[in-house]
């Protein structure tokens, strides 16, 4: 698979988003493990997770632990796989999502993620979502401290606007390597963030790149037309569209079936023509 850069690490141009394997509607563990192994077989070397990807309050870090088990049980070499996780988002167990970006909490969350992933330093640790009760500078300052302490190898942010991207980059002393924002054909409000990341050379990781679980299965219009022309799925066309948007774009489609991530991973070989791009949004 083609590679793209996150900080000083080369990763696959298409990553794997782990969330669907741990939240509501998740499959059994066997299928999830097979999905992660299928991603690795297809050349995926970026896996995105978070401690908040779980259902019950008693299973924080479900997805991190799942990924750790999948990597440990894989028959091939996983030394080149970058696992990116996040802290600062919480699920109290009633179906809601809350936030906590206090520096003490972020540092505790990182320590817990280290243990679940079974590593000495997290490859990429990202601030999950701004907390209106905590100054952004304080939250990113905690990420900087984790970086300085060697608890994490690289630092990123998620759900951030251009002003926050610039602020985080300054606080981290130029060491901000990634921004993970929602971005898809149906959700374009992060376009200014993508443009800024392109300008600064920071990896942009679109989450829900197909528009979410419901939209992913019904991509139509121009995507369906281009897909028919190339004999591939509309979803594969959509991911190729992301790659064509910017050299820093690394989409991380979620998956819970081996065949889904196998199809997604093939998007890097789909060369969209100028005529294709002209009809896509």
- Structure tokens that stand for 66 in this block: 């799942």
Do 235 and 226 meet the contact criterion of CB atoms below 8 Å apart?
no
Nearest Cα residue to 158 out of 188, 121, 187, 126: 126
Q: Which sign, positive or negative, has the C-alpha torsion 164, 167, 171, 176? A: positive
Instruction: Answer yes or no: is 200 within a domain.
Output: yes
pTM of the model: 0.96
Name the strand (E) or helix (H) holding 236.
helix 234-245
- Is there a domain that residue 51 lies in? yes
Task: Supply the CATH number for residue 197's domain.
Answer: 3.20.20.100
How far is Cα 251 from Cα 225, in angstroms, rounded to an integer? 21
Return the CA Rg of the chain. 18
- The answer on pLDDT for 185 being more than 90 is yes
Over residues 46-103, the pLDDT tens digits come to 999 999 999 999 999 999 999 999 999 999 999 999 999 999 999 999 999 999 999 9
Whether the pLDDT of residue 181 is over 60: the answer is yes
Which among 15, 93, 85 has a CA at the least distance from the CA of 54?
Answer: 93
Question: Could you tell me the residue range of the domain that residue 102 belongs to?
Answer: 3-214+248-256
Mean of all residue pLDDT scores within the chain: 96
**Residue 237: inside a domain:** no
Q: Has residue 155 been placed in a domain?
A: yes
pLDDT band at 25 (very low <50, low <70, confident <90, very high): very high
Whether 72 is in a domain gets the answer: yes
Return the C-alpha torsion angle 256, 269, 246, 167, nearest 10.
Answer: 40
Q: Is the pLDDT of residue 218 over 90?
A: no
For residue 214, the model assigns a pLDDT of 59
Q: How many distinct structural domains can be found in the chain?
A: 1
Predicted local distance difference test score (pLDDT) of residue 226:
96
The predicted pLDDT at position 44 comes to 98
pLDDT of res. 281: 86
132 assigned to some structural domain: yes
The pLDDT value recorded for residue 158 is: 98
Q: What is the pLDDT of residue 219?
A: 77
pLDDT at 220 over 90: no
C-alpha dihedral (123, 49, 143, 11), degrees to nearest 10? 40
Inform me whether the pLDDT recorded for 242 exceeds 80.
yes
Q: How confident is the model at residue 221 (pLDDT cuts 50, 70, 90)?
A: confident
Instruction: Tell whether the model's pLDDT for residue 215 goes beyond 70.
Output: no
What share of the chain has pLDDT > 90, as a percent?
95
Is 94 part of any domain?
Answer: yes
Q: Which residues in 59-86 are b (16+ Cβ under 10 Å) and which e?
A: ebbbbbbbbbebbeebeeeeeebbbbbb
pLDDT reported for residue 213? 63
> Residue 202 phi/psi, 5° resolution?
-100, 135
Instruction: Give the span between the Cα atoms of 39 and 263, in whole angstroms.
Output: 10
Tell me if 97 sits within 8 A of 57, measured CB to CB: no
In a domain, 43, yes or no: yes
Q: What is the pLDDT of residues 119-155, one digit of tens each?
A: 999 999 999 999 999 999 999 999 999 999 999 999 9
Residue 53 bears catalytic tag = yes
Q: pLDDT above 70 covers what percent of the chain? A: 98
DSSP, collapsed to helix, strand or coil, labels residue 178 as strand
Band (pLDDT 50/70/90 cuts) for residue 216 is low
Instruction: Name which residue leads in pLDDT, 215 or 273.
Output: 273
């Amino acid at each position: 698979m083609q590679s793209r850069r996150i900080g000083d690490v080369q990763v696959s141009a298409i990553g794997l988003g782990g969330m669907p394997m741990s939240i509501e509607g998740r499959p059994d563990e066997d299928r999830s493990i097979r999905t992660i192994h299928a991603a690795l077989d297809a050349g995926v070397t970026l896996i995105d997770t978070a401690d908040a990807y779980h259902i019950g309050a008693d299973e924080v870090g479900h997805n991190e632990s799942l990924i750790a088990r999948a990597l440990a049980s894989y028959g091939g070499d996983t030394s080149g796989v970058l696992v990116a996780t996040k802290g600062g988002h919480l699920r109290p167990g009633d179906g809601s999502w809350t936030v906590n970006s206090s520096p003490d909490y972020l540092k505790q969350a990182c320590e817990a993620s280290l243990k679940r992933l079974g590593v000495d330093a997290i490859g990429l640790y990202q601030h999950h979502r701004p907390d209106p009760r905590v100054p952004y500078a304080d939250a990113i300052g905690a990420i900087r401290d984790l970086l300085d302490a060697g608890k994490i190898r690289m630092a990123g942010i998620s759900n951030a606007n251009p002003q926050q991207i610039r602020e985080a980059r300054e606080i981290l002393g130029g060491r901000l390597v990634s921004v993970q924002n929602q971005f898809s054909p149906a959700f374009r409000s992060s376009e200014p963030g993508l443009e800024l990341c392109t300008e600064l050379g920071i990896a942009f990781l679109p989450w829900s790149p197909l528009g979410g679980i419901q939209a992913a299965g019904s991509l139509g219009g121009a995507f369906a037309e281009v897909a028919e022309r190339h004999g591939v799925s509309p979803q594969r066309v959509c991911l190729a569209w992301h790659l064509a948007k910017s050299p820093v774009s690394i989409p991380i489609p979620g998956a819970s079936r081996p065949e889904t991530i196998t199809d997604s991973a093939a998007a890097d070989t789909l060369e969209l023509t100028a005529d294709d791009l002209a009809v896509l949004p």
